A and B are shown apart, each in its own frame.
Chain A
């Protein structure tokens, strides 16, 4: 597997790409918090937030619907919010029978459900945007500049760096299991679910040992290259004048969205 198998970065030459990663992180977080603060049914504000998102899409030259394409990852989680459809008191819209219970969908429930989905959908797209226009190592350095403790960012950096190596290891384990699991067609093969879980557990244990021993080798290799407990970068990460302005401008826009959402 290639080293960038998990990379979500899309290399483009754009204004958004050139912004300091701190700016992008802060604006993303403010945008997501703002979405969470918008009241239910603030349709105009939701539309404005979407326009904001589309503009970032355009400015970053990723194409208008770039974030839209991957925006449905959070959809399965909507299941947990379905309960508000029937639990909030309001005027009945429709009712149905499920097994032995009667449920009535109310307009207030519907309003809240749709609002939750929209908030989530907008927020997810902004998060997709963040990693598409920021290299992950830059993002980690931004977190460090934003006072996330070094030990945590270093662990995250290592996780990112070695993930694909260990995933290759997992593929080797899975391939080995596959090649030892013959099955005649139409016949059930393998043991009980418990037995399968045990096999998976043995594989996890094997992976643990391989990872553990690998980390030793990695550490020795790092020492031989002069590791002193800190990771360095050649990227200066300096906030320029325009970076401050863009942050201020974005915050003002998001604030205006909040005001419009509450009028």
Chain B
């Protein structure tokens, strides 16, 4: 088997449009920052490096090791990429990996790609690098231990975010998906931690210059520590809360207007989640009308361009 899909890649059809778009917006903004940061701090030399390192993450996911009765563990690599290449480059590398997995292997959808990049690229880099950055310059052992914890947390953060997105889309029941996802990924995360620590230990022994104070890895700002700690807190506080009291989380979501009874809609002719957030109001009708107008405009534009092109020829 050349390539085995990882359980965190959400395919298309499982997230609703509102959740997909929110995730895309967060992802695009963060990527915009990442690109402007890397363009500023890195030379053109770094572009081939990041490309080959993206291929490295992809290939490293194929190194599996037998765990129990036919199952095997393998790396996700988000934390490792961010620690070795620096956070912004790590984000870009993971984005490229997830894009190719989605485009070429259909592992993860296209509309859902924003969410996938957020879960496996941004959150993993944030928590993975953030915690590691906080012990930069400490003893090697401390660094490795913290990197291990960070790798484990990065998988948990991805799993938690995936569960929440599925729940907000009305695809999964919070009561079942959170315990299921988190317990499975607590195990997967252990493998991630072990492999990440071993790989970092190997690099420390053979090419310590790649990870010392002057390396790309040390260039991330202290702000990452804050991001890392925030994500850690979210995982540590939200997971038990969501597992123990899913109704509480649901109530919060209803109170802030995130859920509009998405689970009771199937019997209505025009479901109220059709136009997200707007409900069955006159606004919804107006929005539907606006979409119609946009489609007509798009088609008119395309036909116009077509005629123009024909004349030019």
Contacts and interface: CB of A to CB of B under 8 A. Distances in A.
B227 to A, nearest CB: 21
A199 to B, nearest CB: 7
A205 interface: yes
Interface bin, chain B? 35 or more
B96 A156 contact: yes
Contacts of A173: 63
B26 interface: no
Interface in A171-207: 173-174, 193-194, 196-207
B222 interface: no
B65 A37 contact: no
> Interface on chain B toward A: helix, strand, loop, or mixed SS?
helix
Given A205-B202, A207-B63, A255-B295, A116 B48 contact: no
Interface string A35-46: 111011100000
Contacts of B173: 83-84, 86-87
B206 to A, nearest CB: 6
B59 A87 contact: no
Given A151-B38, A166-B59, A77 B14 contact: yes
Given A32-B110, A208-B84, A209-B207, A163 B263 contact: no
Contact of A165 (B15, B55, B64): B55
A199 B65 contact: yes
B93 interface: yes
Contacts of B65: 193, 196-197, 199-200
A131 B60 contact: no
Interface string A95-125: 0000000000000100110011111111110
B47 A211 contact: no
A245 B166 contact: no
B202 A251 contact: no
Interface residues of A, number: 107
B103 A202 contact: no
B144 to A, nearest CB: 11
A236 interface: no
B199 A204 contact: yes
Given A81-B171, A201-B199, A219-B49, 11 more contacts: A40-B266, A77-B11, A80-B14, A80-B166, A116-B14, A152-B31, A198-B198, A208-B80, A212-B53, A216-B49, A218-B48
5 contacts: A36-B111, A86-B173, A120-B11, A211-B59, A215-B53
